[in-house]
Amino acid sequence: MAKKFSRKKQGVKKSYLFEEILKVLAANPNKSLNYKQIAADLNITDHSQRLLINAILDELKANDAVSEPERGKFKIKTIEKHVSGIVDMTSSGTAYVVSEETEHDTFIPQRKTLNALHGDLVKVRLIPRRSGKQEGEIIEILERAKTEFVGTIQVSPRFAFLVPSNNRIHVDIYIPLEKLNGAKDGQKAIARIVEWGKNSVNPIGEIIEVLGNVGENNTEMHAILAEYGLPYHFPKDVEKAADLIPIQITEQEIAKRKDFRGITTFTIDPVDAKDFDDALSIQKLDNGNWQIGVHIADVSHYVKPGSMIDKEGFSRATSVYLVDRVVPMLPEILSNNVCSLRPNEEKLCFSAVFEMTDNAEVVDEWFGRTIILSDRRFTYEEAQQTIETGEGEFKDEILTLNRLAKILRANRFKKGSIAFDKMEVKFHLDEAGNPTGVFFKIAKDSNQLIEDFMLLANRKVAEFVGKRSAERKKEKENQRAFVYRVHDKPNPDKLEEFAQFVSKFGYKLNTKNEKAVADSMNNLLKEVNQKKESGMIEMLAIRTMAKAIYTTKNIGHYGLGFEYYTHFTSPIRRYPDVMVHRLLQHYLDGGKSPDIEKLEEQCKHSSDMEKLAAEAERASIKYKQVQFLQDKIGEEFDGIISGVTEWGIFVELNENHCEGMVRLRDLHDDNYYFDEDNYCLRGKKYGKVLTLGDQVRISVKRADLVKKQLDFALVELGEKQERNVKQHSDRKNNFKDKMKGKDRPSQETKDQSTNNAKEEPSKKSNGNTFFDEWGFEV
């Protein structure tokens, strides 16, 4: 029976009345009803409301939601449209469902989300709306994205709850006291949902692991890993299997390999690295050319397909790099011992060996298994000192490699590679893992030396398989399935928006064609280097790019300007590299192409896990940023506006690159609204403007470790905003002078109240939380 309206509810909202009319019609699917009958069913007697029902019926007919079989009588169309998609939940409990079956995301009001959670695969009944925007109702949960959640325990005398850390999980999990598993009030834990009745507000769960006390470093890092479904320890049987791997290199194995033990070889890695998965060898050939060997740890020799270790490695797909630790893809005995190319130890490698001229032209190449003996382990700082001073061990070899690398780099940029050299923020940590300071890592020649030879090896391996596969296609033979690292062309609309944005700072970006974009982007990045707005422009430039992924479908790598590219050089920390090693050896042995569909599934899993690992890394950085500023409440810092949204501005501090938000509701010096077209907040009353790239001064207002959020308060306006205010004031005064003695013109009122702007992220927000990162590893 339809819901009845009391007389107090005669002035109901049109949107609510719209839904009630549909319910009345749906309850009478075989009848045609006029507006009077519907009004009677809803107990509406007010004349204006009855007329509104008639108008809504006409709108429903126009939107094809109802039919009019006879004049003035309406009948609901019984054909319902259903789609399936992924839930994108907001912190308020409303959601969007992202589906390949609809052009736009479907909005789901909170009361129609059923008991869906963020990331779930659901079935949605589409509901037409007057505005034409798609709305729906979740009618079935097809597949849960996850059933285990990280949160904080709240214990009461008769029951307990786990309050999820993720603000997109909008319900607390009810925990019976006998299912607490030793968890105490206020501790962080992981709960598993075991039951959720259709009419129950809260799911019922059990604690499966207690992480520890809130605020302790290990607790928080483990909580971040668990939040993203990433493991932080290996199963005991996997570690036992790793301990049983034979590590002795036999003479029979050496006989199968090319021997590089007598050739100068060394590694160059970060000072705190333990997993050395690449080494370089160099020797002068009799013809005057150089033989450069790129030697990569032969992980696939030790990790056999289908083994327990292989399954665990594939599941993880990547090592995870948090602020204070590395969670390895492979057990430590492999990653830091057996496979690590440590100095003065014989190691098995899979190598890409190149004969190069003095101008870095590759005239010959060889791929295969080798044995090496590294002569020296260099840190990047040690190698850089040799490059800068011309002194030190193996100085001739390092200087030659650096000279060849610079030529390779210059040639790469000529062919369209883009130079994204983003500064890396690092923390000094005390013994307890607390941040005591911030420092910045900038790529220097020693870093780029390694990068360019790794890029060369990755490209040449991909060409070796990919070009021959293309030739086989022309000859109508079976193509060779392979794992490529691809990077699609940037979205033209995003590029154009970025070009318009940088033009406001006096910079130009040529978007005429692909080559023009690459050249223009490189010139822009050089031009902004060392300027105050450089970090923000570099960040936004990266965000105009697509995300690099793994796939069997080669489309090239736009950012690098390569027609063929793969990942071959880091099998200790990336599973796709292990796949590439196996495939390369398989084809070197004359093998046929494997199942491409299975390979594509493995590629997708690897891309998905890479994304999760990157999100976990960013979460750990954000946590340390909040922790670093926790004892600096009230202190003032200079910063730059790095993001503008409808609910406030993001500010990145110049001194330490920590980023926080100045919320719209905390801006009291003007009545601001979000001017999306110009990336700014604009004051209605005084004309104050806060836009991307503006210099501002803030004070630290709040540091919330639980939410990993920093809130700032604006202290003063920079010169640019003061100038904008003055110009607005001058225009206003001139206008007043002109209007003296005349009737004041009427002004249109704007229907949005921005000081009460919603907290939810806009789908079109320019805030830096809502862009995909672009990047590649070498």
- DSSP string over 165-177: SSTT--SPEEE-G
Distance CA 706, CA 284 (A): 58
pLDDT class of 42 with cuts at 50, 70, 90: confident
Which of 182-191, 273-282, 721-730 is predicted with the least confidence, judged by mean pLDDT?
721-730
The sign of the dihedral angle between the CA atoms of 640, 643, 702, 666 is positive
> 204 - beta bridge partners?
174, 195
Q: Which pLDDT belongs to residue 610? A: 97
Average pLDDT over residues 514-535: 82
Q: Is 306 strand, coil or helix?
A: coil
Collect contacts of 127-134 with beta carbons under 8 A, ≥24 apart.
Answer: 127/22, 128/60, 128/63, 128/64, 128/65, 129/18, 129/63, 130/18, 130/56, 130/59, 130/63, 132/63, 133/104, 133/107, 134/102, 134/104, 134/105, 134/106, 134/107
Cα of first residue to Cα of last residue in the chain, in angstroms, is 65
pLDDT class of 734 with cuts at 50, 70, 90: low
The tens digit of pLDDT for each residue in 739-766 reads 444 443 333 333 333 333 333 333 333 3
Q: Is 182 strand, coil or helix?
A: coil
- DSSP-derived pairing of the beta strands 73-76 and 709-716: unpaired
Q: 513 Cβ partners below 8 Å, 6+ apart?
A: none
Strand ranges inside 449-531, DSSP E: 484-486
The tens digit of pLDDT for each residue in 338-369 reads 999 999 999 999 999 999 999 999 999 999 99
The tens digit of pLDDT for each residue in 241-258 reads 999 999 899 999 999 999
| Among 430-439, 445-454, 727-736, the range of highest mean pLDDT | 445-454
The tens digit of pLDDT for each residue in 459-469 reads 999 999 998 76
Residue 626 · residue 598 · CB < 8 Å: no
- Polymer length in residues for the chain: 778
Model confidence at 727: pLDDT above 80: no
Distance CA 611, CA 105 (A): 22
Q: Which pLDDT belongs to residue 511? A: 84
The tens digit of pLDDT for each residue in 665-690 reads 999 888 999 988 777 899 998 889 99
Distance CA 348, CA 334 (A): 12
pLDDT class of 164 with cuts at 50, 70, 90: very high
Residue 401 · residue 448 · CB < 8 Å: no
Angle at 290 between CA 284 and CA 296, to 5 degrees: 105
Model confidence at 46: pLDDT above 90: no
Q: Which pLDDT belongs to residue 476? A: 53
Quick count: other Cβ atoms within 10 Å of Cβ 537?
Answer: 22
Q: Which pLDDT belongs to residue 776? A: 38
pLDDT class of 13 with cuts at 50, 70, 90: low
Model confidence at 1: pLDDT above 50: no
Model confidence at 266: pLDDT above 60: yes
In the block, tokens 């010139």 appear at: 523
Q: Which pLDDT belongs to residue 587? A: 96
Q: Which pLDDT belongs to residue 470? A: 66
Q: Which pLDDT belongs to residue 238? A: 97
Q: Which of 253, 245, 257, 265 is nearest to 338 (CA)?
A: 245
Share of the chain above pLDDT 90, in %: 61
- 740 — phi, psi (to 5°)? -60, 130
The tens digit of pLDDT for each residue in 531-574 reads 777 777 888 888 888 899 999 999 999 999 999 999 999 999 99
Q: Which pLDDT belongs to residue 18? A: 82
Helix spans in 544-701 (H): 575-588, 596-629
Which tops the pLDDT comparison, 28 or 686?
Answer: 686
Q: Which pLDDT belongs to residue 20? A: 85
Q: Which pLDDT belongs to residue 23? A: 83
Which of 51-55, 170-174, 252-256, 770-774 is predicted with the least confidence, judged by mean pLDDT?
770-774
The tens digit of pLDDT for each residue in 608-661 reads 999 999 999 999 999 999 999 999 999 999 999 988 988 899 999 988 989 999
Distance CA 130, CA 58 (A): 10
The tens digit of pLDDT for each residue in 74-114 reads 988 766 789 999 999 988 889 999 999 988 899 999 889 99
Q: Which pLDDT belongs to residue 608? A: 96
Q: Which pLDDT belongs to residue 81? A: 83
Residue 427 · residue 438 · CB < 8 Å: yes
Distance CA 767, CA 440 (A): 24
Strand ranges inside 120-186, DSSP E: 121-127, 135-143, 148-155, 160-164, 173-175
Model confidence at 475: pLDDT above 70: no
Mean pLDDT of the chain: 87
Average pLDDT over residues 124-134: 72
Q: Which pLDDT belongs to residue 479? A: 80
* CA-to-CA separations, 347 to 154, 242, 266, 343, 598, in angstroms, rounded: 52, 17, 12, 9, 31
> 697 - beta bridge partners?
638, 716
DSSP state of 334: I
In the block, tokens 């925007």 appear at: 133
Average pLDDT over residues 114-121: 93
Model confidence at 435: pLDDT above 80: yes
Q: Which of 524, 453, 501, 488 is nearest to 774 (CA)?
A: 488
Amino acid in the structure at residue 629: L
Query: Phi-psi category of 515—alpha, beta or left, where left has phi over 0 and alpha has psi -120 to 50?
Result: alpha
Which tops the pLDDT comparison, 20 or 736?
Answer: 20
| Among 11-15, 710-714, 757-761, the range of highest mean pLDDT | 710-714
Q: Which of 659, 627, 540 is nearest to 323 (CA)?
A: 627
In Å, how far from its chain's centre is CA 483? 22
Which tops the pLDDT comparison, 326 or 420?
Answer: 326
Q: Is 454 strand, coil or helix?
A: helix
